[in-house]
Amino acid sequence: MLDMKWIREHAEEVERVAVWKGIELSMEELLALDARKRRLQGKLDEQRTVRNKRSGEIAKLLREGRTQDAEASKEEVRRCNERIGQWELELAQTEKQFLAWYERVPNIVSPDSPIGRSDADNVEVTRVGEPPLFDFPLKDHMELGELHGLLDVARGVKAAGSRHYYLKGAGVLLHRAVQQLAVDMLLEHGFTLLDVPLMARGQAMFGTGFFPLGEDQTYRLAEEDRYLVGTSEVPLVTYYAGEIVDVEEPIKLCAASMCFRSEVGSAGRDVHGLYRVHQFAKVEQVVICKADPEQSEAMLQEITGHAKKVLEMLELPYRQMAVCTGDMSQKTYKQYDLEAWMPSRAAYGETHSSSNVLDFQARRSNIRYRDETGELRFCHTLNNTAVASPRILIPLLENHQQEDGSIRIPEALQPYLGGVKALSPPVSG
């Protein structure tokens, strides 16, 4: 959420960013409704002052025996109440119309964010590692998973419908191992680990910038104002909602949790295997810091660096992408994606996302701190996926497959799997 005074002073910039992000927004209507709302509020305040003054005079006039004047004041109070009632109704209607537009206003974007319409316009920043060359026929993650008994998609669909799956045996252990690897790394960097609610109220979804524009991506509990979260970013940020916090040192939170997304609008996209599923697990990083652009930029680089470290510990080739305006969400100021090499796709696929949202979430969630002068200010918040599974299993299985069908386990992951160095396929017969 942006400050409305700032929006009035930078209307052209806001409208331009809305176009870049593909958000329908009429600045003309928003500003007109804002002006009307302020005008009505001014009239109401003035009329309430008159009413209160006249009401205060009545008892005095009656004590002085000025009955006629007292009756005139009563009549004026009655007319004031009629006007106030009418204008309160108009104000309520105007505020509803105003909020319908105001809640669509996007965050601004950083000067170094690429301008583009979709992920095809994202810009490569750096590339680490080289895609492996195989001199034997490749198996994709589904073939490898079935060969090793790591997963069962058919029964997942039978139980829960499309884009659901079972992980089995070593598949579950891999799924848990990559999460614990990421958690342990974050704990070493001073993060506090939380076990978070998997459901959130509508206000929490709005406060973190996922509503109203992302509501169609969310599963709602029937007849309740509660939703299954698509990322623990929601409960992590909301942990401090409505509070004044100490950010002399940035607050660093993380969580390992299940996540749920409806994936509306993605029909036909990435439907094979584990790339785009409805239920998954993420280790999420959230940082809350001072409203200092230099500090929040430094934190963006730091949390992105943690995600890079995970990919490097998993010995996966990857590239870092600067996300363009058209691929950003409403709340995002600056974003990086990390994409791991996925041999079966012969391409890089997104595995991590890292965002600086400035004070957009903190304004909506009312998270503030006192600066050096004692003035209350809204914090900056940032988020990053340290690892997401089972998607990370795609490059992990495919890049480390061997000619004999075995799957090599990266050295950093071996302690989490009891020292196992490779998964060997079952011996036929």
The radius of gyration of the chain's CA atoms, rounded to the nearest angstrom, is: 28
Residues 132 and 271 placed together within one structural domain of the fold: yes
Q: Are residues 159 and 258 in the same domain?
A: yes
Concatenate the DSSP letters of all residues of 8-46 into one string.
HHTHHHHHHHHHHHT----HHHHHHHHHHHHHHHHHHHH
**What is the pLDDT, as a whole number, of residue 367?**
98
User: Using the 8-state DSSP alphabet, how is residue 221 labeled?
Assistant: P
131: helix, strand or coil: coil
Q: What share of the chain is helix, strand, coil (3-state, %, to 5)?
A: 45, 20, 35
* Domain housing 414: 119-423
Assign 143 to helix, strand or coil: helix
Number of folded domains that form the chain: 2
In three-state secondary structure terms, 102 is helix
d(CA 241, CA 362): 8
Catalytic position from the list 113, 257, 353, 355: 353
Based on the residue annotation, tell me whether 389 is a catalytic residue of this protein: no
In a domain, 98, yes or no: yes
Catalytic (active site) residue 36: no
Q: In terms of domains, do 392 and 338 share one?
A: yes
Amino acid identity at 415: P
* Residue 254 and residue 375 in one domain: yes
Q: Are 232 and 255 in contact (CB under 8 A)?
A: yes
Separation CA 90–CA 326 (nearest Å)? 37
**Of 38, 71, 102, which residue is a domain's last?**
102
Q: Is residue 276 among the annotated active site residues? A: yes
- 238 lies in the same domain as 379: yes
For residue 216, what is the DSSP state? G
Least confident of 71-80, 138-147, 340-349, 407-416: 71-80
CA-based end-to-end distance of the chain = 63
319 noted as active-site residue: no
Active-site residue, selected from the candidate residues 48, 83, 176, 276: 276
The question of whether 261 is a catalytic residue gets the answer yes
Catalytic residue among 15, 263, 284, 350: 350
Whether 237 shows a pLDDT value over 80: the answer reads yes
**Same domain? 40 vs 167:** no
Using one digit for the tens of pLDDT, what is the confidence trace for 38-91?
A: 999 999 999 999 898 888 888 888 888 888 888 888 888 898 999 999 999 999
Same domain, yes or no, for 149 and 93?
no
Q: Give the DSSP per-residue string, 306-349.
A: HHHHHHHHTT--EEEEEPPGGGS-TT-SEEEEEEEEEGGGTEEE
The answer to the question of residue 193 being in a domain is: yes
Question: Does any domain span residue 114?
Answer: no
| 287-328 pLDDT, tens digit each | 999 999 999 999 999 999 999 999 999 999 999 999 999 999
Please check whether residues 123 and 258 belong to one and the same domain: yes
Choosing from 261, 319, 363, 364, the catalytic residue is: 261
Looking up residue 8, the CATH number of its domain turns out to be 1.10.287.40
Residue where the block lists tokens 């929490």: 204
Asked if residue 110 is part of any domain, the answer here is: no
What is the pTM assigned to this prediction? Answer: 0.93
Of 75, 102, 129, at which residue does a domain stop? 102
